[in-house]
Amino acid sequence: MNYKLTIIVPVFNEEENLIRVEKELAGYLQKASVPTKILLVNDGSSDNSQQLIETICNRNIDFEYISFTKNNGLSAAIKAGFDYAETELVGYIDSDLQTTPEDFNLLLQYTDEYEIVTGIRATRNDGFVKRFSSKFANSFRKAFTHDGVVDTGCPLKIIHTSYAKKIPMFKGLHRFLPAMILLQNGKIKQVPVQHFPRIAGEAKFGLSNRLIGPLLDCFAYLWMKKKYINYDIDTKS
């Protein structure tokens, strides 16, 4: 099949969610508006995730996986997906499925005109501490980046792969994907999407890495913005 979209699903100790991930994503593939494949990225899980991933990929022709030798973090998992993808578009969704893959069809409506289309969790189904820390960190990040993105932490995005592969990822930079597309003179579209409570497994981010980490990452982004190289080729032989 000539796939157009690769959906990256980072996995770290999500054995309780993976069968539901398989069911939801396999169901989405039947109604996806473009030919789509799934890439599960095992970020060094220490539970039974890898065995389940292999089982899922063996029984679903449109599912593939890559597996790290050790835990490297969410940004590394996303970057590996970008590096591995060969399709025109690359998407991203968390394996906790607090967003639904069905909403990728909403985002796909805008990919001809925009280089990144990102979701906005219209109604957050998280606890107060998580919502407060995310809102505070997001406001601080917007003040640094001026990217105008309301909800950069929404785990539902589609990016043109040629742009995604040029992002110089480092730990924590997954929060700055729209801002990094802006550095390439790309355009951003934000689309309201559904959001659901986590049903199984444990959240991988707590109060400290929702506040302290993102604040420090803002300074890393400013350094990156100052040093970033961007060019357009006029002619070539």
Q: What is the pLDDT of residue 122?
A: 80
Give this prediction's pTM: 0.83
Tokens of 16: 């309780």
Distance CA 183, CA 224 (A): 10
Name the pairing type of β-strands 156-160 and 89-93. antiparallel
Domain boundaries, the chain: 5-227
CB-based contact 156:178 (threshold 8 Å): no
pLDDT value of residue 196:
84
The confidence score (pLDDT) of residue 147 equals 76
**Tens-binned pLDDT, residue by residue, of the chain (237 aa):** 799 999 999 999 999 999 999 999 999 999 999 999 999 999 999 999 999 999 999 999 999 999 999 999 999 999 999 999 999 999 999 999 999 999 999 999 999 999 999 999 887 655 555 665 566 566 666 666 667 788 888 889 999 999 999 988 777 778 889 988 998 999 999 999 998 877 765 665 555 555 666 677 777 777 777 777 777 778 887
Residue 212 pLDDT = 65
- Which pLDDT belongs to residue 95? 94
By the 8 A CB rule, do 115 and 147 touch? no
SS3 content of the chain, % helix, strand, coil (to 5): 40, 15, 40
Q: Residue 127's pLDDT is what? A: 57
Say what the pLDDT of residue 159 is.
98
Q: What is the pLDDT at residue 164? A: 96
Other CB atoms within a 10 A radius of the CB of residue 34 amount to 16
As a CATH number, domain 5-227 is 3.90.550.10
Question: In terms of C-beta density within 10 A (0-12 exposed, 13-18 middle, 19 or more buried), how is residue 140 classed?
Answer: middle
At 144, list the tokens: 């640094």
Q: What is the pLDDT of residue 133?
A: 57
- How far apart CA 49 and CA 26 sit, in angstroms, is 18
Contact between 154 and 99 under an 8 Å Cβ cutoff? The reply is yes
Cα Rg of the chain (Å, integer): 17
